[in-house]
Structure 1
């Protein structure tokens, strides 16, 4: 077994985390202090929890491979399909990202702001008179699904199916996950075939025409990006919005401060990303025997850099357990780092900023209905709540 003899008596830390997934942070601290590099028998991987080590892992794709971390999974665990950008190494990763960036441009994202605001207002109009809403169900879930579907040119009647596929893919349900990927690929292939015959003003049509020196994306690569955008884009935005409002509820003075000074909102969002990181951990494979800290890890073994733990590392962040919207600098790793920096981060930030701006403007107060217990989303790497009922008080 990979762990050394000194680790054989180690407590089952991941079991403790899974018992209280909404508050893994005390365990993260203990891990950083006592077991900064340790082997998890539950996940068959080395968990890396200190900021410097996590940054090293995600910044070195040659030594810590995304692509090989998928190949190393046991037979039958992986859907045999083209890997998404997330699971591709250089040099192909660089080529793919350059091609995708031609279609998924900063201007494309910035131009979405008016439509995002329209969607947010539309959903809030349906609940404002009721005096309460479920932030996740009524806003945070549908918003990114609608935005991504419209980006891809997907008709409104199919958007609920998008949500269904996304929920399954981030869940532990392996067989259902495999079937969801097959169904999603079949759907996107149908859309690609239609766009090849009749191009429209949408992202899939733009992806079909993107090229560098005569090199185009294959259909399989376009499908893989659509899957990535749907799942990662939806889950990141949904949980970032939910995590923000949950955290603001715990810190009422912050909500009031942001109402008085909405220009502080971008910094507040960055602090939410650090404080309650939507994607808590990643997965990489060691390509050459190496040392991390005091541990020798062999080629082929899996490491899991824990972003949520790194973002509370006392050596980099002053009072990391304190939620501080004025924190500067805030060098969190919530969207990764290096070549795999989240390609959808600008979209998640935009959707969250627009949604929060409107909530802060329309409502004098938002308070969680504490009688309803919080439930963590069914995922070992996504951090968020399934629902977040809140009372609303409209501004007069």
Structure 2
């Protein structure tokens, strides 16, 4: 069932989502490895198969072929295998540390209050436009050292890249190349300056690798957190008793965030490419085949999760694969989790009566790879 480009009311959106997951559950039982001739790709639904693919880079490569005009960008961290991936990730991890992320917490809290101050008197807002979208853009811009007046360009480029607009790739790449030149002559206390200076065993990031990482951080960080925050509000709306439980027990918020990541995974599908002939479950797949790894459906696998199609706000343990698995486990996961914790805790505290507008029609984003909404009108 195609859900892209549909405008549907709230009741119907949950019904359609349920229908989709019923179909996927059937596929997990009957055709867990499904071939799509029109896409020339295999789709994988089961949790154990997904984890196997993501953990075995020797067989399933991240170097998925792309059009020639995207070649530069696809040499980045997300689209490389070892040993190149190891050297890139080691260099980036030296400066993009969890400690660096945690030091941003006070500033993140200020940002959330600043954003809510702008709309609180109105009694309503578009949660995505007014809060969940600008928040991560501001955070990442501050991490990278981007001037405040250029952040709207960042948001526009990020949206363009998600929509596979090649002009957005080019515009963002050109901007970062210019910013890198400025930092090489006059380093600051930002991530870009530290990335330029980083080295490991004589290795340094090339100019293109620096640009690629900045783009990946902005696009992935913006899109993931925007949808994570908004999807949380939708989950709370769909499960009011769970929301009431969270309001009574705010300490449940970290578990609630993990359940949102599982139940409405922001990243739905990631690609892999078979290096050699291999077998997944009982299916032989030739070398040179595109694999569409369904993170969102693996996270609904009833063989892995009890009551998999129910939002359980205090689910523990919760070994979802929303951030991937193996060597490509999302480097920005600590940032997304901290942004979600600070963002949602502020909303819960300041807007306890937050609710989706009763007559709102919610439009799903036009991408099979991510799960989120174009707008989320709320009252408070």
Normalising by the smaller structure, the TM-score range is over 0.9
1:103 CA drift (Å):
1.0
Matched, 1:101 2:101: no
- State the alpha-carbon separation in 2 of the partners of residues 36 and 231 from structure 1: 30
Distance 1:47 1:77, change over 3 A: farther
Partner SS state of residue 364, structure 1 = coil
Maintained 8 Å contact 2:267/2:369: yes
Of 55, 65, 68, the match for 2:51: 55
TM-superposition CA deviations, 1:131-190 (whole Å, max 9, x none):
11111010000000011111111111110111111111111xx4xx21111111110000
Partner SS state of residue 285, structure 1 = strand
The equivalent residue for 1:8 is none
Of 104, 118, 122, the match for 1:112: 104
Of 129, 137, 156, the match for 1:164: 156
Q: TM-score under structure 2 normalisation?
A: 0.94
Maintained 8 Å contact 1:17/1:27: no
Alignment: residue pair count = 370
- State the alpha-carbon separation in 2 of the partners of residues 43 and 200 from structure 1: 46
Distance 1:82 1:251, change over 3 A: closer
- State the alpha-carbon separation in 2 of the partners of residues 286 and 302 from structure 1: 7
Maintained 8 Å contact 1:82/1:220: no
Matched, 1:122 2:114: yes
1:255 CA drift (Å):
2.1
- State the alpha-carbon separation in 1 of the partners of residues 23 and 152 from structure 2: 36
TM-superposition CA deviations, 1:291-317 (whole Å, max 9, x none):
112221111011111011100111110
Q: TM-score under structure 1 normalisation?
A: 0.90
Distance 1:19 1:316, change over 3 A: farther
Of 196, 199, 202, the match for 1:214: 202
TM-superposition CA deviations, 1:323-379 (whole Å, max 9, x none):
112212111000001100011111111111001111111122111013121111121
- State the alpha-carbon separation in 1 of the partners of residues 23 and 104 from structure 2: 39
- State the alpha-carbon separation in 1 of the partners of residues 78 and 371 from structure 2: 18
Partner SS state of residue 254, structure 2 = helix
The equivalent residue for 1:311 is 299
Matched, 1:181 2:185: no
- State the alpha-carbon separation in 2 of the partners of residues 256 and 365 from structure 1: 11
- State the alpha-carbon separation in 2 of the partners of residues 216 and 76 from structure 1: 25
Of 146, 151, 163, the match for 1:154: 146
The equivalent residue for 1:30 is 26
- State the alpha-carbon separation in 2 of the partners of residues 87 and 364 from structure 1: 42
Distance 1:231 1:387, change over 3 A: same
The equivalent residue for 2:10 is none
- State the alpha-carbon separation in 2 of the partners of residues 116 and 250 from structure 1: 28
Maintained 8 Å contact 2:266/2:372: yes
- State the alpha-carbon separation in 1 of the partners of residues 343 and 72 from structure 2: 37
- State the alpha-carbon separation in 2 of the partners of residues 363 and 42 from structure 1: 47
Of 182, 186, 197, the match for 1:198: 186
CA-based RMSD of the aligned residues comes to: 1.5
Distance 1:80 1:207, change over 3 A: closer
Runs of 4+ in 1 over 3 A off after TM superposition: 15-22, 75-82
Unaligned runs of 5+ in 2: 7-12
- State the alpha-carbon separation in 2 of the partners of residues 216 and 245 from structure 1: 42
- State the alpha-carbon separation in 2 of the partners of residues 134 and 81 from structure 1: 33
- State the alpha-carbon separation in 2 of the partners of residues 288 and 222 from structure 1: 31
1:256 CA drift (Å):
2.1
The equivalent residue for 2:367 is 379
Question: 1:127-142 residue pairs with structure 2 within 5 A?
Answer: 127-142=119-134
- State the alpha-carbon separation in 1 of the partners of residues 79 and 73 from structure 2: 12
Question: 1:1-396 residue pairs with structure 2 within 5 A?
Answer: 15-16=1-2, 18=4, 23=17, 24-67=20-63, 69=64, 71=65, 73=66, 75-76=67-68, 78-81=70-73, 83-171=75-163, 174=164, 177-392=165-380
